[in-house]
Chains A and B, each alone.
Chain A
Amino acid sequence: MWIDVAIKVGLAMVMMLIVINIAGIHSWVERKQSAVIQDRWGANRAGFTFRAPLLRWLNPVMRPIIYLGLLQPLADLMKLVAKENWSPVGGMKWLHASAPFFYLLFAFVGFSAIPFGDTLHVAGRDISLQVAHLNVGFVFIFAMAGLGVYGIVLSGVSSNNNYAFLGAVRAASQMISYEVTLGATVIGIVMVYGSLDLQEIVRGQGALLWGWLPKWGVFVQPLGCILFFTAALAETKRIPFDLPEGESEIIGYFTEYSGTKFGMFMLADFVETVMVAALTTTLFFGGWQFPYLHASGFVFPWGAQVAVGHYGVVAIQVISFLIKVVLFCWLLMTIRWTLPRFRYDQLMDLGWKRMLPVSLANIAVTGLVILLIEAL
């Protein structure tokens, strides 16, 4: 009993570690990748040198770290933590302080349903590499994402600021509108793999189409994949869908936040980006699946086999999942620094008038194709 609890806690710790680290490094990636895209150097100053004679040998090691700006996130953090804990005049102090907590909490909780590896057999136990084995996996994730709106709405309402209020209203309407499309596109995946359980969906993606193509979501639901990714991009509230922030128009729902509380909003944004990357990976890009990797090792379509031990297989799976997530984070970042921003009415048009009908049509076509395949 206690061992089960310990295992779950351990899994949760691993997941948290992965997410917080990727999200933390995101702030560095954002600085550095945007710099590369924009022909700049980016952060390359934050750092320190050792004066103590015993530690001087570390200075040459520090230099590349400083030049790469790797210490910048730490400097950012120090700045944010050291700032005054301030709340706006005329605002609701308690709600103002709790809004970032709500937002960050719900951003994190969703990860519990994401599988990052297959079952691990160790000491006679079967451990599914997933914090919470839920048979309504992604429904849970969407529910949590939906609850995250509360954090934003609270921040906007409690700030006593029209800009924050407008940002919150925009964020709420945007997240709710795009969640409809998000849900509708996933229906196709559910129909193909016959389950709502994310672990089952990922397992289903291990099969091969025509004996050589991995049966990943992107190959069986290409349109669904594009729609899902676009809608998910809108969920992250980043350019081109960064209307709730819109730094040149309404500054955003966190106008009246500073210090750690602002940092939490920022972290939650990065966590959401990781969430979108993880969800896209899980639903459409095989999750922890690695092409042609089975429980016993690699079995290639041309018959060759490479035996891999159980721990090796699990390690490849986890690493494969992580690499996919990081690649999607990179893609999201590239999009963020390339495109202009939508306007509110254009956003609603895109969501309700274009993406939703297409995603509904996608469901119908998927159903028809599945029926035809079964009939044949």
Chain B
Amino acid sequence: MTVTERPLTTKSMLLNLGPSHPSMHGVVRFVLELDGESIVKADCEIGYLHRGFEKMSEQGSYLTVIPYTDRLNYVSPSINNQGYCIAVEKLMGITVPERGEYLRVIMSEIGRIADHLTCIGAATMEVGAFTAFLYYVEAREAIYDLIEAVTGARLTVSFGRIGGVKADLPDCFSNQVHKAFARTREILVECDKLLSRNRIFMDRMRDVGVMSKERTLAYSIQGPFARANGVDWDLRRDEPYSIYDRLEFEVPIGDGHCDNYERYAVRFAEMEQSMRMVEQCLEQMPKGAVAVDESGRELTGADLVEEAKRGLTGGVQELRVVADPTLNGTHRGQIEQVTNPDKHVLLPSKEEAYGSIEGLMNHFKLVMTGHGLHPPAGEAYGVVEGANGELGFYVVSDGTDRPYRVRCHPPCFPIVAAMSELLVGHMIADVTPIFGMVNMIAGELDR
């Protein structure tokens, strides 16, 4: 056999993408087998951010799990809080006051907007449009400001409480919402013009990462990813929890391409729906506690300050509410509106805890080891529609003050399981946009 007759031998290249790679968040690794630029085989390795959430949850009381849930999907923590609280509430059989439910939905939907903005922003950056990413981040800033106004934190909010939420909304919150949403919508329109019909962007996203509806179901993927693939399923509409059945909203579905562009479009459309939901909530929700003076006139925080300036503090002492309701210790009188007042779950306000022996005892009874919440032995599954799909918490109680088991069903786990299938046949350049639209959040994936 001469040299020219010999078959050309090619060797595939093994490329180790991550975990220290700019697009892999430092928390996931792909081992790619490449034929030139095309991917022949992809192997996804997870677990780099495993912090033992489930085991940690078994060590503390039911209340101490709430801050851990913030660290699951750290882009939309209020949804996680709600998911866990729903599970424990089911276990204990307690209800949430109406206003508390509305607050939960408001915070969840605001969190969802932040999550979607992060996801599509990062995906646009991964195809090289860095400017659009920063525009999205600016919109997210407006959203984060809202979260900060309500919870006092931007990332790890710990806003949920078993039986309700931590505190009421601040004064003039609905004005802030309208302002922030107006800015967000403006930016979304801008980015829509910049990207959605951009030839290069379309070429990069269309027909990339295609996954049929059947395969999506086979992997039991849910959330925006599945909706983009044509699975018409949204927990908020199909198994409404909280007060979602009172809201009017649409569930955006992909147009059958089942590709990255649809995922982008579905998330884009969902943000508008979330904003609609928040606006409806603000209109519908029952009025919270208000401060009134002796004649029954309603007083806002600003009025109280005005009164104090004029030296009219005598009457103020008689009032039930002091200044800002989001700060601990100043929400007496309001907390019952947003959290179940049952003494077995509600942490007393700081005023009560520091000011009266009953409050102090109540506080200790809830936070001391061996005391705390004692749900009856049993199990419950609390589920919410997370930003990435079904986010479930399975809580088992053995009747003590500690959860026997807390299992989290993370929405992006099945999608990451499908990554190898999504990637094969594409080029290296497609790895990052596909992975970006999966919106893997390592916190909830690895727990």
Residues of chain A touching chain B, judged by Cβ–Cβ distance below 8 Å, are 34, 37-40, 162-163, 166, 239-240, 242-243, 246-251, 337-346
Contact = CB atoms under 8 A, between A and B. Distances in A.
A339 to B, nearest CB: 6
B427 A340 contact: no
Given A248-B126, A341-B127, A343-B430, A162 B138 contact: no
A248 B23 contact: yes
B328 interface: no
B131 A38 contact: yes
B432 interface: yes
26 contacts: A37-B131, A38-B130, A38-B131, A163-B15, A166-B37, A239-B128, A246-B128, A248-B125, A248-B126, A249-B126, A249-B429, A249-B431, A337-B130, A339-B128, A339-B129, A339-B198, A340-B200, A340-B201, A341-B128, A341-B429, A342-B203, A343-B203, A344-B427, A344-B429, A345-B37, A346-B203
Nearest to A246: B429
Contact of A341 (B23, B132, B200): B200
A162 B13 contact: yes
B387 to A, nearest CB: 22
Contacts, number: 83
A340 B429 contact: no
A345 B427 contact: yes
A239 B428 CA distance: 17
Nearest to B16: A162
Given A162-B15, A342-B200, A337 B131 contact: yes
B22 A340 contact: no
Contacts of A163: 15
A338 to B, nearest CB: 6
A263 to B, nearest CB: 20
A340 B428 contact: no
A228 B218 CA distance: 50
Contacts of B154: none
Contacts of B16: 162
A248 B134 contact: no
Nearest to A37: B131
Contacts of B14: 162
Contacts of A345: 37, 427
A37 B132 CA distance: 10
Interface centre among A162, A239, A249 (most CB of B within 10 A): A249
Question: Which of A40, A240, A246, A248 lies at the interface centre, i.e. has the most chain B CB atoms within 10 A of its CB?
Answer: A248
Given A248-B23, A248-B128, A339 B200 contact: yes
A339 B125 CA distance: 10
Contact of A240 (B13, B195, B200, B427): B200
A243 B429 contact: yes
A343 B204 contact: yes
Nearest to A163: B15
Interface in B4-42: 13-16, 21-23, 37
B124 interface: yes
Nearest to B126: A248
B15 A39 contact: no
Nearest to B436: A248
Contacts of A243: 429
Given A162-B13, A248-B125, A248-B127, 15 more contacts: A34-B131, A38-B131, A162-B14, A166-B37, A239-B128, A240-B128, A249-B23, A249-B428, A337-B131, A339-B128, A342-B203, A343-B203, A344-B37, A344-B427, A345-B37
A343 B128 contact: no
Given A339-B200, A343-B204, A344-B429, A247 B37 contact: no
Contact of A39 (B138, B200, B204, B429): B138
Contacts of A40: 134
A120 to B, nearest CB: 43
A46 B13 CA distance: 43
Contacts of B134: 38-40
Interface in B83-128: 124-128
Contacts of A34: 130-131
Contacts of B23: 248-249
8 nearest A-B residue pairs (beta carbon): A341-B128, A340-B129, A38-B134, A340-B127, A340-B128, A343-B429, A248-B126, A248-B23
A152 B138 CA distance: 37
Nearest to A345: B427
Nearest to A240: B200
B124 A247 contact: no
B394 interface: no
Interface string B130-141: 111011001000
A242 B128 contact: yes
B138 A250 contact: no
Contact of A166 (B131, B428, B432): B428
A243 B432 CA distance: 13
Contacts of A240: 128, 200
Contacts of B194: 338
A351 B429 CA distance: 18
Q: Which of A239, A342, A343 neighbours the largest number of chain B CB atoms within 10 Å of its CB?
A: A343
Nearest to A165: B13
Contacts of B203: 342-343, 346
A40 B131 CA distance: 10
In this complex, which of A34, A337, A339, A340 has the most chain B Cβ atoms within 10 angstroms of its Cβ?
Answer: A340
Contacts of B125: 248
A37 B22 CA distance: 23
B39 to A, nearest CB: 12
Interface in B188-215: 194-195, 198, 200-201, 203-204
Interface in B36-80: 37
A166 B16 CA distance: 13
A246 B427 CA distance: 13
A183 to B, nearest CB: 25
Contacts of B22: 247-248, 251
A248 B37 contact: no
B135 A343 contact: no
Contacts of A242: 128
B431 A340 contact: no
Nearest to A337: B131
A354 to B, nearest CB: 12
A234 B189 CA distance: 30
B286 to A, nearest CB: 39
B440 to A, nearest CB: 15
A240 B15 CA distance: 24
A39 B133 CA distance: 12
B131 A338 contact: yes
B124 to A, nearest CB: 7
A242 B129 CA distance: 12
Contacts of B195: 340
A86 B260 CA distance: 40
Contacts of A250: 428
B120 to A, nearest CB: 13
Interface string B223-260: 00000000000000000000000000000000000000
A343 B209 CA distance: 14
Contacts of B138: 39
Given A162-B13, A162-B15, A248-B23, A340 B124 contact: yes
Nearest to B202: A340
Nearest to B203: A346
A249 B432 contact: yes
A163 B37 CA distance: 11
B433 to A, nearest CB: 9
Contacts of A251: 21-22
